[in-house]
Amino acid sequence: MTLAQAVIEGADPEELLRAEVPPVYRAAHIRREEVGMFGRAPHGTMGVDKDVRRSLHVGEVPMPELAPDEVLVAVMASAINFNTVWSAMFEPIPTFAFLERLGRSDPRHDLDTHVLGSDASGVVVRKGAAVRQWHVGDRVVTSPAYVDSEDPVAHHDSMLAADLRAWGFETNFGGLAEFAVVKATQLLPKPRHLSWEEAACNMLCASTAYRMLVGEHGSRMKQGDVVLLWGATGGLGAYGVQLVRNGGGIPVGVVSSREKAELLRGMGCEYVVDRTDFEHLDDEKAWRRFGAEVRRQVGEDPAIVFEHTGRETFGASVYVAKKGGSVVTCGSSSGFDHAYDNRHLWMKLKRIIGSHGANYQECAEVNRLIALGAIHPTLSRVYPLERAADAARAVQTNEHVGKVGVLCLAQGEDLGIEDHALRERIGEDRLRLFRS
């Protein structure tokens, strides 16, 4: 029996250890020889349409050796994150540059194929000699923060570590594959009431949103805070909305269609702004109309603005935050060259907070909320691994809501659920809200 078959059949740890690790495995990857196929975008912009279906391939890649602090995970399911879209567009820089840099200390990563993907659920099938807390057969989800724990600052906040990397973006051997290599410090227990694909889709976006909103390094949301969230039914935003509600805040969600507005209301988000009512959000007149709409609905300005949309929205974000409020940002989907009127920042004593990913503790905290049934997956569609490029294209073109999942070794949807009682208590309507 192959190792993949053993995992699919739910083999026990002894059987998993008897099955041989294959020399190659199937994975969604980009190729070094194709860097440059789309040309370069003008500085700070997205440029022309760089269709990721042309650059993202699924095929066999070599299986790497395991380092002592790593585990090999048989991936049951994964999910698309925007970083896979960036990698497959070779923007803002080709991710092979990250692999080259990492390759100076760990040559295994510097290959002509880059296996992408920063989320996964699966089963531990091998572990390195230094791994103590995790065992073959454990059912896990992965955190995307790939950190060398020998850096002292990593023990304060691993996101400050000099060598912090996003797994499957700045490292090789990511999650959109049959197998993935992760550090033991990326592992968390799989929430038992979720299917493989529901469990796989959460960690990167939920943990990033958690650090931005709740964590001591982010905007430290308080009960009753009004929080404006861009892309409120997108990957990050839909976890953001849930975290705001769960923490006693008042979410104001921004979306771009009536259907998304309905979905947002279905999540219990009472205040919704359709950004298509504000043609260009890049001048002060539009910011003022946008701010007036938020104030008309909620009666006050947001204490926190949850930003990741970048160039096209940042000026409005700085403008609408209340006096003393903050704009917390982790990305720039519409371009990273932001412009805003600094008078609104300094005169109103606002703060801009940069945030990136989440440390292991923050990941564990949000994974616990998911396992308790307080925060739910936002999975809307699932593709087989062969169609990973179509899944990434759906995210690239903003056709999706919530998260787009990818089945890797899982032989179908809705498998891997262990705690049916919790599932029943939460209700399928809440767990599958984004699938309708």
DSSP class of residue 177 equals B
DSSP class of residue 322 equals P
| List 357, 373, 377, 416, residue binding ligand NAP (CB under 6 A) | 357
**Min. distance of Cβ 424 from ligand NAP in angstroms?**
29
In three-state secondary structure terms, 261 is helix
DSSP codes of every residue in 273-310: EEGGGSS-TTSHHHHHHHHHHHHHHHSS--SEEEE-SG
Contacts to ligand NAP from residues 29-88, by CB under 6 A: 81-83
Cα–Cα distance measured from residue 167 to residue 174, given in angstroms and rounded to the nearest whole number:
6
Rule CB under 6 A: say whether 217 interacts with ligand NAP: no
* Site mask for ligand NAP (CB under 6 A), range 119-158, x = bound: ----------------------------------------
Name the nearest CA neighbour of 189 among 124, 116, 126: 124
In three-state secondary structure terms, 413 is coil
Residue 276 burial (CB count, 10 A): 10
**Min. distance of Cβ 252 from ligand NAP in angstroms?**
13
Stretch that binds ligand NAP, among 150-158, 169-177, 327-335, 409-417 (CB under 6 A): 327-335
Residues in the chain, total: 436
Rule CB under 6 A: say whether 201 interacts with ligand NAP: no
**Min. distance of Cβ 261 from ligand NAP in angstroms?**
9
Cα–Cα distance measured from residue 433 to residue 426, given in angstroms and rounded to the nearest whole number:
12
Cα–Cα distance measured from residue 247 to residue 231, given in angstroms and rounded to the nearest whole number:
19
Determine phi and psi for 254, rounding to 5 degrees. Answer: -105, 130
Q: Bridge partners of 226?
A: 250
Rule CB under 6 A: say whether 175 interacts with ligand NAP: no
DSSP class of residue 63 equals P
**Min. distance of Cβ 383 from ligand NAP in angstroms?**
15
Cα-trace Rg, the chain: 21
**Min. distance of Cβ 291 from ligand NAP in angstroms?**
15
Stretch that binds ligand NAP, among 21-29, 120-128, 244-252, 309-317 (CB under 6 A): 309-317
| List 344, 348, 356, 387, residue binding ligand NAP (CB under 6 A) | 356
Rule CB under 6 A: say whether 205 interacts with ligand NAP: yes
**Min. distance of Cβ 204 from ligand NAP in angstroms?**
6
Closer to ligand NAP by Cβ: residue 121 or 208? 208
**Min. distance of Cβ 113 from ligand NAP in angstroms?**
22
Binding residues for ligand NAP, rule: CB under 6 A, are 81-83, 204-205, 208, 230-231, 233-237, 254-256, 260, 275, 308-309, 312-313, 330-331, 333-334, 356-357, 395, 398
